[in-house]
Structure 1
Amino acid sequence: MTTVAVVTGAGRGMGLACARELVGQVDTVLMVDRDPDTVTAAAAELSARGGAAEPFVLDITDADGLARLTKRVAELGTLRSVAHAAGISPTMADWRQIFTVDLVATARLAETLRPLATEGTALVVFASMAPMLDPAAPDPDALAVLDDPLHDQFLDRMHQVLGPDIENPGLAYSWAKRGVQRFVWQEAVRLGPAGGRICSVSPGIIDTPQGRQEAEAHPTMDVLVQRTPLRRRGRAEDVAAVVGFALSDRAGFLNGIDLLVDGGVCAALRAGR
């Protein structure tokens, strides 16, 4: 049986770190990214190290492209692992695009790959610590809408229930990532009968190009670094190691939860430190 891993956002940052982590776990790593030059170079790097890596150019919001991805996985072998790291942050787009890329595309990717799930298939989708930094209780009506991200009118419904405040990219990002965390609860139930499982991972402040871009736009992130008990930013490898474990057979009973990888900053804030 030939096993296949799918890694999205694999051309750089945490996606590339996840791909490196998974090379030894499966026979082939299918590296997905919208940038053809970047993902081709990344796949060549992994192949040069002795791994079997194949680039796959795809915008994860493209439904037809996701169908092509599913077809390619089936051609290569059995779906073993998915590390869905592709996403955008508040400085990169408006509120609609943030929801579309970070939540809707996550749900659509999982839906498209679901028929390939079998005993031992595992998925990790990327969320964020952002929702945990909001001390307010979320609006129950908004949560009800959030839990149906593939509804035809999803974005309009979110705007209707939360009002114009949701047009703030930072707030939209936090809600979208909360939606990812909640999505895994539902998807764990859907995957269970096939023997598959899913978790989300919520990185804290990670030292990647995307993370540095956000830090330049939001200097208050430095305050969070200072309040992190480990007194540093995370590395892409820190997150990838957790993802690698969650996707491995050693984590075979880990399912339907969020894994917070933040160096302890959320704990410090909750403790009032």
Structure 2
Amino acid sequence: MNSSEFEYLKQMLYERSGLVVTPEKGYLIESRLMPIARRRGIENVGTLIEELRRTRDENTLVQIVDAMTTNETLFFRDGWPFERFRSNLLPEIMEKTKASRRIRIWSAACSSGQEPYSLAMTMAEMDPALTGWQIEIVATDISDAMLARAQAGRYSVFEVSRGLPEPMLQKYFEPEKDGWRVKDRLRSMISFRRYNLLDDAHAHGLGPFDIIFCRNVLIYFDEATRRRVFSDLAKVMRPWGYLCLGGAETVVGISDAFRVLPGERGLFGLS
């Protein structure tokens, strides 16, 4: 892949997904895009990019964005967000919404679904406190392939071994030939839909939400894109809402729409 091809790919990825790729990521580009080239009978990634420049084929564009999106995730990732959600945030949200008895949660950039299923399990464990409440978890991702996996709720033995407590595996999953599948009860708590964080959430009918989990995705965006995303997220949050980011992510110096909560890491409220 020459410099011209790289610059075209870089700009396309930025415009379509907000991803920022640099020349030193050339090895990553080659490894992720070469399977697409092979499936199309193309000998190398450079030729694939040249064909894309010529045809602007939408199917190829979607495949490339899917391939370049980092989909690393696991159940109950980092632990603390789910513990804080259970012990503090959810009781506070229940107090705020006791009139409607309706709670809405957004798992943005949900990848293959471990985060929304972890949230669903956390809430299921709170029965009977939530009996009679309407719970909606909306899980979105830019990747059709990841959404298909998440909706199916099927995970390998390796995947369920990463962060998922054994009692929860037995309670909320059913064994299958090559792994485990989330039980229907849990899957019914979540609605999955395709959404690009660069789009307008309100225009797409998202919101309002009591809490938004948008974790470990903004680290791949530049500051201008983060500012844009934060502004959009703020528009679909209820006044008392919370934004939960990854441990290495922050709104500080980027967005005035959110405020830092004293003593909290990765958790923010509306300004």
TM-score, normalized by length of structure 2? 0.29
Structure number with greater Rg is 2
TM-score, normalized by length of structure 1? 0.29
Higher relative contact order (CA 8 A, sep 6+): 1
More helix by share: 1
